[in-house]
Structure 1
């Protein structure tokens, strides 16, 4: 069973939203409805997020991604459609039941840290537990553990204005982790940070995910960030999901010209992997050839390919040979010939 499922979600603001949904289903365009006073923000969004997966929703401003996120935890009620969390229909819950699910099962990490300036770092991290009614000593202990996880051990007694932007965002992440929620919703959580700190936070999230295996829905407008973090990526445009797939799917097989325009500037060497370009039918590499994991980025294959001047072996998750990668396959994948890698992606 999927941890989180969105089924044909619509969100329309303005006049006669339910009637607008029916018109959308009948083929009416977004601009046509706007002219009549209805504002479709999300149109027929469906997807599944598996347990332990980072699911990234990527789109430009106005694409509907943040509205979609707010429907996932009930902050916004869908005009139509359902949200299922562990098989439970959140859209059918009474307000008190929904608040209970949100307080125990779902945590949000916002773009603008949302820290209380009059509370210490520890008390900020413990805030979600305080709202839940957890006793003071227990919540402070759990908050301290969460701060240690995000690399802020020793900053417990500091004030938010004594921290850098990246450190403040770590406090926000610690607050979400302290609640021990299984589902994290992250809304442009790193976009307010400068590029170096942003990459550091991405590293931190990936490191934590290896330990904690949370289910994460991450919103971003940055495709490089989406491809670095996402196990799967949904690309949104004008309220609709126009492609849903792995980073390699999107890079190698863009669904349309809109998606293709996004991937032009993506560093393919850091997104495509050995597993995507290997030849599983080829014979074994020469004895003594280097062996790499299937998820090794192509950028990390240059050295072993140059050293051995021949193919390298690609191992599966069990360490068994799964195929070989040649220099020609890597060069083709990094060039303008995506069709040559689709057979093995």
Structure 2
């Protein structure tokens, strides 16, 4: 059976699976098939009758991801056609059961590869290609897709790797659609601490430049092989962005490179670091578009010059957030919302509210129409 999801007047079709079929495929959601536990529920490996290996994301009853976000994820991924967003095979909506069926990615998430057991050989060339792939994927979502999409939760645990180490951007449950004519969307903050752009974290002003900021943080993590915050390090190195700026100001960019890399391209390191520092500027207007970031990474245009570190690094300090906390406006800092289980210390903020007049967000949710085929 096909299901039509109507979103902003655009029809996207996706295949619907029966609950019994997915239950069989995952061996009754056996713990042995569990791939991870995200903030919205567990993910299981499964095998369909036709032999296809799948990843089944099962929305838990107590999940923060409501029906709106569930449908948004279906509609968004069904509507985009690009090699880098993860492929959605279909979904299941039966009674209280809501499940998403994705392609299975053998090498799981980037954060596990970078910060986990490191069984994958992520050499410099592979890392640079991953950065370029993420940039191209985001450029497509922002500028080329028929729906203009802000992902809102770009982070290492939402970047998946297939058997050839080709990356796939996942977890579109928090994605927002926007109109190029809008200055920004005013919304309650949702995303992950450590990757949030300051104007979004502090004022709830969301634009595609929030994804640009998050990309800059992810790129630094890929270069350094460490998460954006690590309290086990020396004080000056705890926060990755601060450490990167210090090295940049002292012409020591190569010191940021993961010590496990025996070889790397110094020119590419400096180029990637320069792009990352541009992407994480305090003002969204000072950050490049993702298409421009792609051009800089590819060497098609020169990397812009960054002169001084952003005010959010020089004007105030902040402490690590460890447990569930409620911020002003009601945004909740909770568990990670990744597709596969995240090993990152970062926490996620989930929640979304209506928008004030004048900056009204286009709706995430349209309507579901089931069609028998």
More helix by share: 1
Q: Which has the higher contact order (CA 8 A, sep 6+)?
A: 2
TM-score, length basis structure 2: 0.29
Return the TM-score normalized by structure 1.
Answer: 0.31
